[in-house]
Amino acid sequence: MRCVGNWRQSPDVEVFATPGNPGIASLGPAAYPKPPRSSKSPNASAPTFTVVGPETPLVNGVVDEFRAKGRLIVGPDRNAARLEGSKVFAKRFFAQSGIPTAGFATAENETEARAAIDRFGFPIVLKADGLAAGKGVVIAQDRAEAEAALGQLKGRLVIEEFLRGEEVSFIALCDGRDVIALAPTRDHKAAFDGDQGPNTGGMGAYCDSAILTEAETQQILRTIITPRWTRPTSPDSSTPAS
């Protein structure tokens, strides 16, 4: 990672990253995996403002804990993070709320999963319910690959129809009332060139406003982001797959 320009715009601000990596450490003396003891900050171990990136601490409720202590933090609380932490919860939320999503079924065991696979043609998508560092998804091209995936993906699953098209990640900041859309991004998941091979945790990503047209951006905002959705009655409430 190469630092371009002035990444710290104020000499009065120190930036710390945890757990950090060699790229962030190369950006300057204030970018450490842990706040150093020699820091000039009077309370380096308790930053005044925190931005959370990884999913796991969000799902575990780090935002709730920080807010309870009166500390400023950016990220969804534990309840909202269930949309990331459970694919079953997310798909049922989409179906209940009328958010466009691929047809799906949920399965608690291999017997239910095999029955669900028969409902969709190939290729078919199999997803582990919980967090899997980007590696809990298998796109099976035929029955043999689907059977192999069932041996790999344990526990509750989402069985989903395969949708062809280009991937886009649409990220927005929301305070519960107002929404600010960021530039769209795209992640390369397949291990090999030409979108071939198994899914990985990510083979690189880029951000470019040209990924979406203005009309596509407005459609996403109108149909997914800005409506006032009703929360599901229960994270495990049943929703028909269609």
CATH at 180: 3.30.470.20
β-strand partners of 46? none
Residue 96 and residue 155 in one domain: yes
Q: What percent of the chain has pLDDT over 70?
A: 80
Cβ proximity of 106 and 156 under 8 Å: yes
Q: What share of the chain is helix, strand, coil (3-state, %, to 5)?
A: 30, 20, 55
For residues 148 and 143, what is the distance between their CA atoms, to the nearest angstrom?
9
Q: Which two tokens stand for residue 85?
A: 């932490």
pLDDT of residue 191: 75
219 pLDDT higher than 60 = yes
Instruction: Give me the mean pLDDT over the 123-134 stretch.
Output: 89
Phi, psi of 185 (to 5 degrees): -130, 165
Is 194 a domain residue?
A: yes
* pLDDT confidence tier of residue 114, bands split at 50, 70 and 90: very high
Query: Nearest to residue 126, comparing CAs of 192, 81, 114?
Result: 114
The reply to whether 78 and 107 lie within a common domain is: no
SS3 221: helix
First to last CA, the chain: 44
User: Among candidates 225, 212, 102, which has minimal Cα distance to 163?
Assistant: 102
Q: Return mean pLDDT, the chain.
A: 81
Does 239 score more than 70 pLDDT? no
Structural domain contains residue 111: yes
Alpha-carbon distance of 60 to 81, in angstroms, equals 9
Task: Note the pLDDT of residue 106.
Answer: 95
Amino acid in position 179: V
190 plus 153 within the same structural domain: no
| Residues belonging to the chain | 242
Q: What does the alpha-carbon distance between residue 73 and residue 85 come to, in Å, rounded to a whole number?
A: 19
**Residue 14 neighbours by CB distance under 10 Å:** 19
Q: Indicate left, alpha or beta for 17 from its phi (over 0: left) and psi (-120 to 50: alpha).
A: beta
How many independent structural domains does the chain possess? 3
Of 105, 132, 161, the residue at which a domain comes to its end is 161
CATH value at residue 154: 3.30.1490.20
- My answer on whether 90 and 146 are in the same domain is yes
Comparing 210 with 11, the larger pLDDT belongs to 210
- 153 and 124 together in one domain: yes
DSSP 109: S
pLDDT of 180 > 50? The answer is yes
- Whole-number pLDDT of residue 233: 46
Domain that holds residue 138: 86-161
Report the percent of the chain where pLDDT is more than 90: 50
Q: What is the pLDDT of residue 23?
A: 74
Report whether 131 contacts 56 (CB < 8 A): yes
